[in-house]
Amino acid sequence: MLLQVSKTMRTVMQRVIPPVIIKVKRELRPESVANAMLDMNKWCRLTTIDFSWTNIGAEGTGGLAAVLGQCASLAHLNLRWNNLGSERAGMLAAVLGQCASLAHLDLCGNGIGAEGAGSLAAVLGQCASLAHLDLGWNNIGAEGTGMLAAVVGQCASLAHLDLRWNKIGAEGTGMLSGVLGQCASLAHLDLCDNGIGTEGAGMLAAVLGECTSLAHLGLRDNGIGAEGAGRLAAVLGQCASLAQLDLGWNEIGAEGTVSLSAVLG
């Protein structure tokens, strides 16, 4: 069942039939979200909460965090583009470990930074069901990537990891590469627009052969050049499951294209 709420969540929560999916439209007032969350503790059948682009604010985040642990069936949580920042990300992180069924977490575009990434990293190891993690557009940098890298290897179910537009650079790529071989279920990895350069491409190349489930690799706009393309080409033949490869906007030139063509044909 899908319920869309255009003004406040309160009237929805008072309906006779318990909702399974709650999806709200843009620009709910933070106090409305908070009030809705207070009512939501009456409902235990929620499997999906989508508050994307709703400007939930600190009050709304606090209200949501207060009841998430009671949503035993919650599998999908979407809070993308809410400008949460590091402090509010910390509020959520404090309760995520209680969400035993959580499989999909989308915090894209929230500016959580390295501090917020660290708060999440501290609890992700407890999220045994987590399969999809989207932290794109959060400016976590190399520091935040390093903290995440320390725990993603513990997320045995993780199949989709999106870290695009995070300024992770070659340093962050190196730290992430060090654990990718432990992510046996990883099928989708998006590192687009991160400035990883030739060096970062080489670090990734060194471990890609261990990622036996990898089907999608996004490296668009990373300045890897012909040399980086060559390093990737040297191992792509080992990636038997790879179905999608995004190397757009990388200035690989004719040399890089030839290197890749030799193994992609």
Interatomic CA distance for residues 63 and 91, integer angstroms: 10
Interatomic CA distance for residues 165 and 238, integer angstroms: 27
Tell me whether residue 35 is in a domain.
no
For the segment 239-264, the average pLDDT, to the nearest whole number, is: 96
pLDDT of residue 70: 86
Q: What is the pLDDT of residues 197-221, one digit of tens each?
A: 999 999 999 999 999 999 999 999 9
Q: Are strands 48-50 and 132-134 parallel, antiparallel or unpaired?
A: unpaired
Tell me whether residue 17 is in a domain.
no
Tell me whether residue 30 is in a domain.
no
Tell me whether residue 148 is in a domain.
yes
The CATH code of the domain that includes 187 is: 3.80.10.10
For the segment 46-59, the average pLDDT, to the nearest whole number, is: 93
Tell me whether residue 48 is in a domain.
no
Tell me whether residue 10 is in a domain.
no
Tell me whether residue 36 is in a domain.
no
DSSP 128-191: TT--EEE--SS--HHHHHHHHHHHHTT-TT--EEE--SS--HHHHHHHHHHHHTT-TT--EEE-
Token duo for residue 252 = 């690989």
Name the nearest CA neighbour of 89 among 113, 69, 125, 68.
113
Residues 6+ apart with CB under 8 A from 88: 58, 61, 110
Task: Provide the domain limits for residue 85.
Answer: 74-264
What's the total number of domains in the chain? 1
Tell me whether residue 12 is in a domain.
no
* Share of residues in the chain with pLDDT > 90 (%): 78
Q: What is the pLDDT of residues 170-198, one digit of tens each?
A: 999 999 999 999 999 999 999 999 999 99
Interatomic CA distance for residues 258 and 265, integer angstroms: 11
With cut-offs at 50, 70 and 90, classify the pLDDT of residue 30. Answer: low
Range with the poorest average pLDDT among 27-31, 100-104, 162-166:
27-31
For the segment 38-65, the average pLDDT, to the nearest whole number, is: 84
Q: Does residue 166 carry a pLDDT above 80?
A: yes
